[in-house]
Each structure stands twice: as C-alpha cells, then as structure tokens.
Structure 1
Amino acid sequence: MLHGIDVSAYQSSTLNDVAVQDFVIIKATEGVSYTNPKQSAQAAYARAHGAVVGFYHFARPGDMQAQAEFFVQQAASVDGDILAIDWEDSGVTCAQKDALLKAVKALRPTHKVLLYCGRDFWLNIDTTSYCEDGLWIADYSHPAGSPAIQHPWTFHQYSQSPIDQDVANFTSAAALQTWAAGSPSGVPNWRTLLDHVESIPEKIYETWTASDGWDNHTEFGVEYGEDGVSWCVIFNWDMYHDCGFDAIVPKTDNVNSFTSWAKARGQWSLYPSVGAWVNFNDGAHTEIVVGFDSQNVYTKGGNSIQTGAVDNGQGNGVWSHTNVRTSSKVVGYFAPRFADGVCPPTADPADPRGGTAVASYTWPGAVNTPAKPSTPTPTVSLSRLVKAAKTDPTAKQGHQTYKAGVELVEAALLAEGMFAKADKKYAKDGSFGKVTVEAYKRWQKRLHFSGKDADGIPGLVSLTALGKKHGFKVVA
C-alpha cells in the first residue's frame, strides 16, 4: 500500500507543516462559491516532492451540473491528476451524488474520478454502489488498508490525527501514477488486460512429487500471498493485479465467493465478455474469458490441464480451452466494471455495464506492451530448498524434493564454476544431493562464510546473493 494525505486551506500553502508521502489530495471547491485559495501552491509543493496529486470537491445540495462545472473550472488540475467528489452532506441524495460523479467524468473524461464518503454513508445512505472510477472510503475504526466494507476500494482514509491520513490500494508509486494517467495511447483497460493474459506462456508451472503429485507451488501463488493451494482464482486476480486493475475485483481464492460478490453488485451475467471470470462446474474451477462466438467461449486460466492431457484432475499449469457456451459446465460469468468506463466486447444483450452485444470476438494480437514481462521472474523458496538440501543427500540417488527450485540453483552454481569437473553431470538433475551440497559450500566460502555457515545448506544471505546474479527471487 502507498501512504498519503488529504489537505485543505487549513494547511499551509507549502505543506511544510505535514509530511508529503506518495500522494496528496487537495480540497479545491465547495458548492458553487468556495475555492481553496492555497490549492495551486499546495499542488506545486506536492508535485515538487514527487507525489501524485488529486483534487476534491465538497458537494452541497443544489444543481449538480453547476457544481461539476465549477469544480473542474476552479481546480488547479492537470492531466494525470485525480478528481474526487466528497459526499458528506446528508442533503445530497444518492441520485445527486451519482449525477455529480457522471457530470465531472463527462467534463474531464481523461481524469480518474472518485467518490469519497464515510463508511456510514456507504453502508446506510448509498443505494447504487456507484463510485465512477473508484471508492475513497473513510473508516477510522479499522486499521489502514482494512476498511470494513466489501466493495473494492481505491483509497482508505483511516485517521484524522494529526491530519487526514490515507492509504492507496496500489503496490507501487509507479502503479498509482500509471492508473491516474489512464490507458496509454487510448488503449482501453480491458484490452490491456487481455494482452497481458495472452502474454503468459502456456506451460506447466508446478513441481511433481511422487508422494503428493503436483504441489500447487507457483509464482502466481507467491504474488498473491497464498502459495501451495489451488490457484485458479488466484491466477485471475494476479492478472488484474499485474495491470493495476485489482481494485475492481475481490481478492479471493474461491470461485463461489467471487460469484456471490458479483451477484450482490449487479456484475453477474449468463453471457461471456472479455475479461470475465467464468464459474465452471458450480465452483470447481475458473478461467478468464479471452474470446467467444455464437457457439463457444474461449478461456485461459491457471491450475488447469492442457487440452487432451491426463493429470488426475489436479491441474498443473496455464492453458487455454474451448467450451460450448450452453454446456452445463458453464454456470455464468463475473463481469468486472473497468475503471476507464469502457465495456469490453460482450455477448450480453443487457450487459450490466451498458455494453452493446456483439456476435463474436477473437483476440487479434497485442496492441500495447504487456503490463509486466511475459515470463515472470522465477522464484526459489528458501524453506523448500533447505528441506531439499537435507532430504535429497540421504534419499535414493536422484531424489527430487524440490525439482524446480533446485534446478535454478544448480544452473546458477554451474555458471559460477562451483561444480567439480567430474560432478558436472549432476548439475542439472533437480536433486540437491551430496554433489550439490558440496557445490553450495564452495559458493558460501566464496562469500567468505566459514564453519557452520559454510555447510552447504542454503541460507537467506547466500541464496539472495546467488539469485541477484542469476535472475531469480528468494521467498520464504
């Protein structure tokens, strides 16, 4: 999460009485008559300190169109700034709130427009769950980043002391800046997502062990923060997260959970649309829709099996599939609302996002650079590697406790010249046997470790150093 503040004319023009962090959101206007005289100077100070800048308007009862026009004319905003509507006055109805958000978006379509309100307003006064490009929720009774609401949130105001304190639901300042700036070259969010999903190589991502089968340990689970479990829903969330779109989808690892979430918010459909999460076999599996025609839906997903393969039903990688749309296997689709307001290609004649139904859609190939490299950085689990280093040497020759991770480490040790010439034939077998233990000892000694610290059992410092040189990350 990122940390920031929101300010008004009560703070100084240079903000030198507060700590500027990743973002600053500044009060610009109120009603149709008040303008913050310090907003331009406050924004200049925030920009000079590298913060993402936003402006908010305090809504009052009255003409919403007039307030929208007053806000965008008076706010000292530039391209890439965030705009927000502050909904705290009980004299402003939910319908008026919606109208004001839509009016601001229509006047400034290239800006992200948010709704700010307290938890009480959101749960007890709001009836539409409409918040344009994102929800900025105020909830002081729960920790930063954990507001007590179910709806996806973009910002959380968690404290008013000594000044309004906020967190943003982004993994990095660059991700927030990218989101605030909007899609590059006018590419809609759904297309950015689709290009990214299609960029993920189709292959096996798990390790096989004779005792447990496929082990569910993947880079996708590591990214999500819950590795070693069934990861089909996790893959879906990761794809949105990679593109900075995870604020519009629930973070869950359960198919029926996202299904209930979507139904409660009017985002459920019996028709496919690009980017939708399909529910297969009443909660048994999910994948992301990448295309459709009148007969079939085309999907790509994780923890799945390659078409025609036999895998005991467990799943082992990322694969594409074709299913008949009317099959009993297809329960329905969660259709996320993209923050840029553009509905993806959909087959739904009454799409809940207002899209126009089309007969078919097929991915034509990427039009922009994927959100992250098509081949994610490999990871090595320290705990699993240590287990392999202690288990494999006393097991049957060639025993593989952690094949994928050991292979990465062996390749790195080989490149470093740590294997004796006669032992190089064992340097690619995925077994952390006695020969690999000796090779790792040499690596530890090169790093000037000695005694018990150079026993051939990997440690965090030595493994991280090896990973930095040879392109893998170390996780617990």
Structure 2
Amino acid sequence: MLNGIDVSGYQSATPDVSGQSFVFIKATEGTTYINPRQDSQAATARAAGAVVGFYHFARPGDMQAQAAYFVDKCDSVDGDVLVIDWEDSGVSCADKDALLKAVKALRPTHKVLLYCSRSFWLGIDTTSYCEDGLWIADYSHPAGSPAIQHPWLFHQYSQDGVDKDVANFATAGDLKAWATGTTNSSGTPNWRTLLDHVESIPEKIYEGWNASDGWDNDTPFGVEYGENGVSWCVIFDWDMYHDVGLDSCVPKTDNVDSFTSWAKARGEWSLYPSVGSWVNFEDGAHTEICVGFDATYVYTKGGNSIQAGATDNGQGNGVWSHKHVRTDAAVTGYFAPRFPDGVCPPTADPHDPRGGTAVTSYTWPGQASSPSTPSKPAPAATPTVSLSKLIKAAKADPKGKQGHKTYAAGVKIVEAALRAEGLLAKKYAGDGSFGSLTVTAYAKWQRKLHFAGKAADGIPGIDSLKALGKKHGFKVVA
C-alpha cells in the first residue's frame, strides 16, 4: 500500500507532501468554481515526485457541460489522474455514469476514477460503474480495508487534519506505470508477474475426502479468500491476483456468472484467449486462468479441477493444468482484466478491449510440456443447502448478536439467490447470517410463490427452498 493525501482550496498552496506517493487536488465544482490554488498545489506535488490527480465535485445539471468545464479548467498533464467526486445526492447514478464517460471521451489517455463514500456506493449506486477504478471513502475501517467487495484502487480512510489515503499498488513505480500506461519500475509487466506466480503453484490434490460428502472443499485458497468449504474455482482465480497485489483489477466473487457480468459491463469480455484471463467454461460451470494459447488450443490452470484423464464425480479436488480446443462449445468466453500498469498481455483478440496487438501464440517460457486435454473442463460441484440447518439459522440468527452465524455456508448461497431475485440489498447479502432482513426477504420469496400465512413467515420450507435452488443452481438436502 502507498500513502497519499488529497487537498482543496482550503489547504495551503504549498501543502506538505513529504513521504506521499500521490496527491489528489480539487480542481472544479459544477460549472462555476475553480480552485485558485490548484496550480501551486500540483507544482508542489510534482516537485516531490508524487503522482498527481485532479478531481471535480459533481453538481446537478448538465453532465456534458461539467465534463468540458473540468478538463478545460484543471491543470492536468499527461499521466495525471482525473476523478469525479460524487457526493451530492442530487446527482443521480445515471448522471454519475454519464459524467465519467464524458470525461473519458474528452481525455481518453488519462485514467478516470470515481470517488464516493461507502454509503453512496452501497446505498445509492446501482450500476457499479466507475470507469478506470474506484476511490472509496470509508473512515470506519483501517487503511487498506474498506468494507466493500468491489475492487478499489484508492481508499480515503481519515479526515484527521488533512484527508489521508492509501493506494492499492505494491510500489510507487507500479502506481506511476498505471497512471501513465507504461511498464512498471522493475520492467516486468503485471501480467508476467501474475503468470509466473500461477505457474509456481504446485499441481496436486488440496482437499480432504470423506465417504458421505466426497471432497470437502477445505483448502488454503478458501482460507485466503475468507470463504472456505465451498466450491473454489473462482476463489482460486482471485487468490492468484491477490497474491501478487493485482486484486484491484478483478472482482472479489466466488461465482462465474458474476465475474462474467462484471466483465461485460466494463468492456473486459472477449471471445479470444489472453494470458491471465479468467475462462468461463460451460456457461458458468467452471473457470480457470489462461496461461497460454496457440491457433488450436487454450492452455489453462485452475483450482477445484481434476487432473486430466482422472474422474472424481465431477467435483474437482486440486490445482491442475489443462488444454482445450479453442472452438469447443465448452469454452464460453474470457474475462480479460485491465492490468494496473496498463500493459496488455499476449492476446489472440484482434480487437482486444485493452488495445493489445493480437499474436498467434504464447507459451510460458518455463512450461515443460503441454498438459493433456480433458474430455471437458471439470465443473464446479453444485452447491448444496441443508434445509434443517437453514431452518435452525433462520430461527437462531435473528435472536443472537448482530451478525450471528449458525450455518454461514448455506445461508450465503440462499442470500445470493435472494439478492439475484431483487429481494435482498447487496450490502446485506453474503454475510452468512440469516438475520431479520434475510427472513423478510425470504418471506417475500415465499409470497412470490403464492404461499401465505405461516407458509410465508420467512422460515424456509422444502418447496420454497427447492424452487429457489432450481432457479439459482443449488440443490437441497434434508
């Protein structure tokens, strides 16, 4: 993590920037205000070698006019970051999106970010759109640990004296490389750092086995992610990025459909392989990371998979490498993250959304031999929810302390389904506690199925739970 500050016209024209890797400066507000100290504040930051950013405080009105006013009046140069400050509740989420897009269109070579508070992000935002990244304000949690699931680049964690921030980059060189779109200070692109790490993971079985349930999903990858004992193919993808400090460019999710939607919404979806991309197999059944490709095959490595040629009831049990025919119907597509340093990895996409130049093939230099081709990618195990355990949670959790968890694994699955139905807000889904809000949401689901009276009291029953599972991909046991 890197330290930085943000300043406005209320601060000195020559702020103390010693020890700061970046300085964000208020430039404009609406279409009438210009910070009279921005030129001097920027010069002070540049002289100290800090990355400079400028922000515009959005007000209700014409978003196109505000974008033009901002880029015209701020003291930016190539390599500076531009930010939209979204704090006025009179500026809608649609306005916010339009303003971000307008600034990016006017300054396409600059990184454009969204700044907002955690309450705005969780309570007012509906699109999760933040252009090139999110700068989140959350003063209730430690520096570098804002209480959101979405990837973030900057965290404003304190207003004590001067606004204090941290950036989610390993080195100052990485931050500058991202801002300017060049390679990092070490000369090693982000994608190669990631690939070397993925290929360093030993291929072996990582789970335990028991006769009643099969492989138990108890892995170090689940522990690292913070959600152990569940299907972990997507978790493995995220862990690989997290291990090398690149989790700012990928969503923290355990669901293939979720990262696919995330990628499509941000123009990071491709039908061609690229190194580091997350492969969607079988339209949401499984994922692995692309480590290479040629004209015929895509080479992958992933977790919760099976060794090529082996069988284990389709559950997956470890980390293994595979190759797949690129045109196989099982290969649905690829989430192609934009790496923080701005360098596009080797890609087969002639129109790569990150601006890369397509190549015919890429093989990791350390690859000893090509893995075998499985008959089909190993699907993730279908999640299972116990009705009896869920009922206990629905009765016990609301009576316990805030966040009490009786059956976290199953409750998380049900909460995700209720959120997908639009019955539970995203900030309450996924905590694993079947609290009063989850009970209310489940009661809405029961009424949606035309249950009434005690059959719609928010305590799960077999029929309503099976209906939810059938629609959202989990099975129900007693």
Range of TM-score over shorter length = 0.5 to 0.7
Query: Which residue in 2 is equivalent to 1:33?
Result: 32
Does residue 113 in structure 1 map to residue 112 in structure 2?
yes
Report the TM-score, using the length of structure 2 for normalisation: 0.57
Say whether the 8 Å CA contact 1:267–1:337 is kept in structure 2: no
Q: Tell me the SS of whatever aligns to 1:45.
A: helix
- Structure 1: distance between partners of 2:130 and 2:346: 19
Q: CA offset at residue 130 of structure 1?
A: 1.3
Write out aligned runs for 1:40-439 (5 A). 40-183=39-182, 193=191, 197=195, 233=234, 236-237=237-238, 240=241, 245-251=246-252, 254=254, 257-263=255-261, 272-275=271-274, 276-280=277-281, 286-289=287-290, 298-302=298-302, 319-323=321-325, 326=328, 332-333=332-333, 335-336=335-336, 338=338, 363-365=360-362
Which SS does the other structure have where 1:4 is aligned?
A: strand
Q: Is the 8 A contact 1:23 1:52 kept in 2?
A: yes
Q: Distance in 2 between matches of 1:267 and 1:65?
A: 22
- C-alpha change, 1:219 and 1:75, in structure 2 (3 Å) is farther
2:127 is paired with a residue whose SS is coil
- 2:8 alignment counterpart: 8
Gaps of 5+ in 2: 207-216, 369-478
Residue matched to 1:407: none
Between the aligned residues of both structures, percent identity stands at 57
Q: 1:220 to 1:181 in 2, by over 3 A?
A: farther
Deviation of 1:7 after TM superposition, in Å, equals: 0.6
Q: SS at the partner of 1:61?
A: coil
User: Do the aligned residues in 2 keep the contact of 1:57 with 1:85 (CA within 8 Å)?
Assistant: yes
C-alpha displacement of 1:150: 2.2
Q: How far apart are 1:219 and its partner, in Å?
A: 13
Alpha-carbon distance in structure 1 between the residues aligned to 2:30 and 2:346: 35
SS at match of 2:5: strand
Distance 1:203 1:271 in 2: 26
C-alpha deviation, 1:107, in angstroms: 1.9
Q: Which of these two proteins has the greater Rg computed from alpha carbons?
A: 1
Alpha-carbon distance between aligned partners in 2 of 1:135 and 1:104, rounded to the nearest angstrom: 15
Q: CA offsets, 1:403-452, max 9 Å, x none? A: xxxxxxxxxxxxxxxxxxxxxxxxxxxxxxxxxxxxxxxxxxxxxxxxxx
Give the C-alpha shift of residue 194 in structure 1: 7.8
Q: Give the SS at the match of 1:170.
A: coil
Segments of 5+ residues of structure 1 without an aligned counterpart are 186-190, 209-215, 376-476
Q: Which amino acid aligns with 1:94?
A: C
How far did residue 6 of structure 1 move? Answer: 0.8
Distance 1:373 1:108 in 2: 40
What do residues 285-315 of structure 1 show as CA deviations (whole Å, max 9, x unaligned)?
A: 6322467899x76132145777569999988
Task: Name the SS for the 1:96 alignment partner.
Answer: helix
- CA distance 1:317–1:342, change in 2 (3 Å): closer
Distance 1:270 1:82, change over 3 A: closer
* Amino acid corresponding to residue 178 of structure 2 in structure 1: W
Q: For residues 240-271 of structure 1, what are the alpha-carbon distances to aligned partners after superposition, in whole Å with 9 as ceiling and x for unaligned? A: 4688753121346x5xx354454477559997
* Superposition RMSD in Å: 5.2
> For residues 54 and 373 of structure 1, what CA distance do their matches in structure 2 show?
39
Residues 196 and 132 of structure 1: is their aligned pair in 2 closer, same or farther, counting only changes over 3 Å?
A: same
| Inter-CA distance 222–51: structure 2 relative to 1 (3 Å threshold) | farther
Give SS of 1:43's match: helix
The code of the aligned residue for 1:250 comes to P
User: For residues 312-363 of structure 1, what are the alpha-carbon distances to aligned partners after superposition, in whole Å with 9 as ceiling and x for unaligned?
Assistant: 9988777451147555x65x5562553769999799xxx9x9899xxxx764
Q: Per the alignment, do residues 160 and 202 of structure 1 end up closer, same or farther by CA in structure 2, a change over 3 Å counting?
A: closer
The TM-score with structure 1 as length reference comes to: 0.57
Paired with 1:270 and 1:131, the residues of 2 have a C-alpha distance of 17
CA distance in 2, matches of 1:219, 1:120: 32
Q: Secondary structure at the match of 1:6?
A: strand
Query: Residue 467 of structure 2 corresponds to which residue in structure 1?
Result: none
